Structure 1
Amino acid sequence: MSILEKKEIVWAVREEWASNENGFDSEEIIYETMRKLIKDKLTSEKAFENFKLYYISNKEVFTKKIIHELIEDCHQICNADNGKNKSELILLAKLHKLFLGTNIKK
């Protein structure tokens, strides 16, 4: 992950995802999850599979707005450093397929 991609992630978390709704600090939860993924040296494919399982088990919390913001932020992070590479394009396609292949709540 490049420095520009890391900066884009920090911006997205602070601007789009940070909240204290439901009595927890979402910003810290996101950063803690990312630190664990990096520490465990999880591949992008394995991280996607973990997310897919989480999404399938918790579809009710993924509103149309949240899905739109997730996809938008993923594209911004991938474009942060010289555009999208082949592996990023494949994961983005899988993400689109995951979201479009399920019923999205308004």
Structure 2
Amino acid sequence: MIPCFLSSLCVLFIALAIPLILQKVPPNCIYGFRTRKTLSDETIWYKANKFLGYGLVISSLSSLLVFGGGSLFPQIIPPSFIVNYANQILLVPIIVLLVSCFIYLHKL
């Protein structure tokens, strides 16, 4: 049950990343990588959000690999591991992504 829900959450993140990658999301106050710098310049907005979108796909796929692997190969990744470490499996890649995004934004 939990791996299925968490896998669905990863798929949702990937779906949310696609418009960012395709640069279909204009600057706004709701959706995207919103900072003073990104909201001040449309070119920076699209570059930063494209970077965020690709990173979101990669981080979601890495989490999905663990959740899916746990479902397909419970002898290798036991369900108890997924239940006990679900937050870390989701959050560590996202935290790495956010740090990477701010570093990238600083270089723009």
TM-score by length of 2: 0.31
Larger radius of gyration: 2
TM-score by length of 1: 0.31
| Larger relative contact order (Cα-Cα within 8 Å, sequence gap ≥ 6) | 1
